[in-house]
């Protein structure tokens, strides 16, 4: 396929001979093509298996191409659609585009449209890929905004007035529960604590570590 991607395609067409012809042409390009004889069966096949691309003829029994496209739009099925219309049905093609078709081809009497299939398929699939990338970017952006808002809320929490006990130094949280300083800060920031003693607390709790050595004291008196 000269480096082009291969896709799973569903072709809905009531003219079996034409359907087989297009199927073989697309399969020679590397695509996997399944056929459906009418719109009703085509929709069932699409919903059951899923496809990268849907090609649908306009003039079909039971359910024409426009109704197929409208159904896909109503069900929010993300598969892009290429509509095939007969010569003189350009108005239908415009309606198809308004209903959600990605592109259309007019079946001219010289069958020149068959030569256009590869380029149309690649263009439609590139547009789908770009839309998916844009959608992913917007989702990632929204997630980042939520994370930043959450971080900002925590910063504001620590930036306000903190009710702290003058005796034990515990902090009262939003639920009225008194918590150790390190517990409170750890719950609202990414900070981690390693415990130690400052010089004043060493003197307070371990005075013997700072007392003068008895031997040194005796020697000074002599």
Please tell me the predicted confidence (pLDDT) of residue 213: 53
29-50, pLDDT tens digit by residue? 899 999 999 999 999 999 998 8
Please compute the mean of the pLDDT values over residues 81-88 and round it to a whole number.
85
Please compute the mean of the pLDDT values over residues 120-149 and round it to a whole number.
85
Task: Indicate if the pLDDT at residue 3 is higher than 60.
Answer: no
* Higher-scoring residue by pLDDT: 88, 61: 61
Cα distance between residue 41 and residue 4, in whole Å: 30
Residue in this structure with the two tokens 């905004």, named with its chain if needed: 145
Please tell me the predicted confidence (pLDDT) of residue 160: 63
Cα distance between residue 55 and residue 67, in whole Å: 13
- How far is residue 32 from each of residues 6, 51, 54, 70, 120, measured CA to CA in Å? 8, 10, 12, 25, 16
Least confident of 5-19, 73-87, 208-222: 208-222
Cα distance between residue 19 and residue 32, in whole Å: 14
Domains in the chain (CATH in brackets) are 8-135 (3.40.50.2300), 161-222 (no CATH)
62-78, pLDDT tens digit by residue? 898 999 999 998 998 88
Cα distance between residue 148 and residue 181, in whole Å: 24
159-174, pLDDT tens digit by residue? 666 788 878 878 887 7
Indicate the pLDDT class of residue 54, thresholds 50, 70 and 90.
Answer: very high
* Higher-scoring residue by pLDDT: 219, 182: 182
Cα distance between residue 112 and residue 119, in whole Å: 13
Please tell me the predicted confidence (pLDDT) of residue 132: 78
The pTM assigned to this predicted structure is 0.60
Cα distance between residue 29 and residue 91, in whole Å: 30
Quote the tokens at residue 141: 């952006």
Q: How high does pLDDT run on average in the chain?
A: 82
Cα distance between residue 8 and residue 32, in whole Å: 5
Cα distance between residue 54 and residue 43, in whole Å: 10
Task: Indicate if the pLDDT at residue 4 is higher than 80.
Answer: no
**Nearest residue to 96 (alpha-carbon basis) of 47, 86, 112:** 86
Task: Indicate if the pLDDT at residue 218 is higher than 80.
Answer: no
Question: In the beta sheet, which residues pair with residue 82?
Answer: 55, 103
Residue % of the chain over a pLDDT of 70: 86
Please compute the mean of the pLDDT values over residues 113-135 and round it to a whole number.
87
Cα distance between residue 132 and residue 71, in whole Å: 21
């Amino acid at each position: 396929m000269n480096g082009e991607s291969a896709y799973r395609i569903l072709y809905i067409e009531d003219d079996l001979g034409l359907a087989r012809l297009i199927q073989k042409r697309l399969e020679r390009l590397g695509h996997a093509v399944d056929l459906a004889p009418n719109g009703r069966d085509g929709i069932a096949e699409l919903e059951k298996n899923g496809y990268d691309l849907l090609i649908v003829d306009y003039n079909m029994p039971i359910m024409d191409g426009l109704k197929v496209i409208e159904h896909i739009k109503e069900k929010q099925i993300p598969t892009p659609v290429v509509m095939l219309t007969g010569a003189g049905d350009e108005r239908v093609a415009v309606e198809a585009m308004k209903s959600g078709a990605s592109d259309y081809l007019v079946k001219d009497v010289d069958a020149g449209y068959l030569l256009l299939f590869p380029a149309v398929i690649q263009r439609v699939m590139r547009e789908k890929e770009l839309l998916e990338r844009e959608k992913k970017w917007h989702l990632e952006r929204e997630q980042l905004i939520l994370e930043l808002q959450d971080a900002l809320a925590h910063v504001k929490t620590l930036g306000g007035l903190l009710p702290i006990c003058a005796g034990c130094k515990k902090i009262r949280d939003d639920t009225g529960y008194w918590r150790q300083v390190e517990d409170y800060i750890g719950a609202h920031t990414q900070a981690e604590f390693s415990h130690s003693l400052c010089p004043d607390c060493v003197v307070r709790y371990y005075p013997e570590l700072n007392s003068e050595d008895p031997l040194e004291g005796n020697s000074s008196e002599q």
